[in-house]
Amino acid sequence: MGQAKRRAGQWNTFYDALSAEERTIADVSRATYSRFIAPSRAMGMCYRVTFFLAVYLQNKYGVSATPAVGFAHDETGPLMASHAWLEFNGKKTDLTLGFTEHPDVQLQGQVLILDHVHQPGHKYSYHRELTDAGAEALERLRARTGGRQIVDAKQAEHAAMIERSRDFIDPALIVLILDHAA
């Protein structure tokens, strides 16, 4: 059996076991990935894609999924990347690690739909909080020439995204954020 046929069979087995709400999330996520993210090799859009999915699923289908803002860790060193993904019933949907801006620095990861590996890639771990080792690595990076500005800017962005994800109880605010995204 060819790889494409095997993967299609795995998808069908996965899909058949989903609830109606999970099927909606899977359908919307798969379409978003195959129609937009993969063809354009979209990178650096974890917050926007996560917020978009959450708003679209809620407004179009009445499915309430939670945008999560935390950190993705490739387990190759202590540094962790600020990241966002969607959660529903404890399952992760992450459409954005499959393409990274600098794959030599940030490995291209798996594309997950409700914890199912939709596209293979490096396996990341997900954390809501920065680990102690991650915090120490950021402090070392901050101490380098020019590092302070980079780290401070990323930390400010991360804090803003956490607040915006908490504001998700007001979908109009998230739509406003998406409308003004650069």
Give per-residue pLDDT as tens, 67-124: 999 999 999 989 888 899 999 999 999 999 999 888 888 899 999 999 999 999 999 9
Q: Which residues contact 84 (CB under 8 A, 6 or more apart)?
A: 46, 47, 49, 50, 51, 67, 68, 69, 70, 161, 165
Beta-strand runs (E) in the chain: 66-73, 81-88, 91-93, 111-113, 116-119, 125-127
Structural domain count of the chain: 1
Confidence of residue 182 (pLDDT cuts 50, 70, 90): very low
Domain of 51 in residue numbering reads as 3-179
The pTM is what?
A: 0.84
